[in-house]
Amino acid sequence: MDAIEPTVECDVTLDEHPFRLEAGGELPEVTLRCAWYGQPETAPGGVILVCHALTGSARVADWWGGLVGPGRLLDPAHYAIVGINVLGSCYGSTGPTTPDRQRGRPYGARFPLVTIGDMVRAQYLALRQLGILRLTAVIGGSIGGMQALRWATDFPAVLDVCCAIGATPLPAMGLALNHLQRQAILSDPAWQDGDYTTQPVAGLALARAIAMCSYKSAALFDARFGRRPDRSGEDPRKTLTGRYDVAGYLDHQGEKFVRRFDANSYLVLSKAMDTFDLTDADLARIRARIHLVGLSSDWLFPAAGVRALAHRLRAVKVAVQYDEITTDHGHDGFLAEPDAVAPCLRAALTTQPT
């Protein structure tokens, strides 16, 4: 299934100068890359913001092609779908690879800490500048789901529906794994305190590989790789570096990732994932209908934690529905199982408040 092209892609430079950040820093200027599928002025279903995960982009159909396109659930003939690359990313929005005008070279490690709240506020300002004052829904998985929840807590009057898949404040194991991923990058001498000209290849690839283990399930790895030797033919029993197939897969994922994602962006976004949290006071501000989806084999955001968040929302009288997708794909189920995600999204978009 080929991904459809956006109707239009645009960069929005925010009117707010400087853009002040929750952790105390500021950016003199913020630009966000947006990708539209459909026409916001005429779409009968209104505008839906789809928030991407850690290393995704504004081009929603590129990573959610099974859900976005003609005849699919998010049909640009019915809804105007917008994706916005998050603040801090390296896919068109202001981030560590953006030139810092004061220094004439990329921010690198001088890029300030951003939060999910900062990302969402920037998105709100960008959409407002584009004349979008109402959203039918904000939807996302993983840190895309964090953004959807932050939209619901921080801009309660703007959206009707919030759908978050595999997303809660990160539990301790997730904080642990994110920390180790950052350590892998920071301890690579090629990181050069963030002022690298070529990427810290070993550290970034290792970070990605650690992350991949937390995105997939043990059952999926067993089914896909088992204890088979690497498909290249090397014998894991004969040399220290001879690999099993799962190891070759992880190395390959790491190598691919280094070519497409910036190490400093990874640090900033991984940190934003860590610091996302929801107090009861946050939850009590919500006016949108909330639809939470857990993934049965998710190790990073266990389904039990998503269910617990639904209970917390009910306790503060927020209209919430919880669905659980049974999948062996682990956390990646929100990307790998569009046919299972679609009914949850459909319910989120059509169910009336309870």
What residues are labeled active site?
142, 298, 331
Question: Closer CB to a second copy, residue 100 or residue 251?
Answer: 251
Task: Kindly tell me which of 13 and 326 has the beta carbon lying closer to a second copy.
Answer: 326
Q: According to the annotation, is 154 in a ligand binding site?
A: no
Residue 318 touching a second copy (CB under 8 A): no
- Closer to a second copy by Cβ: residue 113 or 347: 113
What's the CA angle centered on 176, arms 174 and 178, to 5 degrees? 70
Whether the CB-CB separation of 58 and 52 falls below 8 Å is answered with yes
DSSP of 36-98:
EES-TTT-TT-EEEEE--TT--S-HHHH-TTTBSTTSSB-TTTSEEEEEPPTT-SSSSSSTTS
Cα distance between residue 36 and residue 257, in whole Å = 25
Judged by CB under 8 A, does residue 23 bind a second copy?
yes
| Torsion angle defined by CA atoms of residues 109, 124, 307 and 342, in that order, rounded to the nearest 10 degrees | -110
Q: Specify burial of residue 312 (Cβ count, 10 A radius: 0-12, 13-18, 19+).
A: middle
Q: Does residue 239 bind a second copy (CB under 8 A)?
A: yes
Question: Considering the complex, what minimum distance in angstroms separates the CB of residue 337 from a second copy?
Answer: 20
Interacting residues with a second copy between 181 and 220 (CB under 8 A) = 182-184, 186-189, 202-203, 206, 209-210, 213, 218
In this complex, which beta carbon is closest to a second copy, that of residue 50 or of residue 149? 149
Cβ at position 219, least distance to a second copy in Å = 9
Tokens of 192: 């050069």
Confirm or deny that 208 is annotated as ligand binding: yes
Tell me which of 78, 282, 299, 340 binds a second copy, using CB under 8 A.
Answer: 299
Report whether 167 contacts 146 (CB < 8 A): yes
Distance CA 309, CA 320 (A): 10
Binding-site positions for substrate read 208, 332
Residues that bind a second copy (CB under 8 A): 23-24, 109, 113, 115, 169-173, 175-177, 179-180, 182-184, 186-189, 202-203, 206, 209-210, 213, 218, 221-222, 224-227, 236-241, 243-247, 250-251, 267-268, 271, 274-275, 277, 299, 302
